[in-house]
Amino acid sequence: MAPKEAKPVLSDVDTSKKQLASRLSVAAQSMRQCATFVESVAQTVAKLPLDADSIEALQELLGDAPIKIGKRKARDDDGDGTKRKRVTKPKDPNAPKRPASAYILFQNEVRAKLKEQNPELPQSELLSLIGRRWTSMSQQEKEVSMPLFHIDNVLLCHVSLEIYI
């Protein structure tokens, strides 16, 4: 008698994969059947004459069927075709301004010098030149040139708050 060939043992993962695939195909088939049914109902309803009695009968039949709500952007409109504007708080004109950043203070200091050296340079190129100069500076150079700016900012902030309060 010839020896029997051993059947390959499927691992649990392979078994699970096969079960998942078969169940997904069953679910897909069910969804296709539902889609076909819905299409046939839609065609039947489209053929019906729409008078008040048939509309009431359909509404009673549907009962509390869920109503599809559109996307959030579509719901934001007020019904007149325009979108709702976001409500913003009015700004207090007496509120203190934020202190200028170190870069803005550096820019204000250097702009006049560079404008004298390059009077024909447009404002946009002048600002990009200042930006390149700022980025090329090391952190130590920035910190050495900024103590007065930081003191000014602290004083400005403190005085503004005292006046405001």
User: 149 with 91: CB under 8 angstroms?
Assistant: no
Reference 133, options 124, 142, 120; nearest CA is 142
Residue 9 buriedness (CB in 10 A; 0-12 / 13-18 / 19+): exposed
pLDDT at 26: 92
Q: What is the mean pLDDT of each run of 10 residues along the chain (165 residues)?
A: 61 86 91 88 77 76 67 56 80 76 82 89 92 89 69 64 60
pLDDT at 106: 83
149: Cβ contacts below 8 Å, ≥ 6 apart: 100, 102, 105, 106
Contact 85, 108 (CB under 8 A): no
**Residue length of the chain:** 165
pLDDT digits (tens, 9 = 90+) for 151-161: 666 666 666 55
pTM: 0.40
| Strand (E) or helix (H) holding 12 | helix 12-47
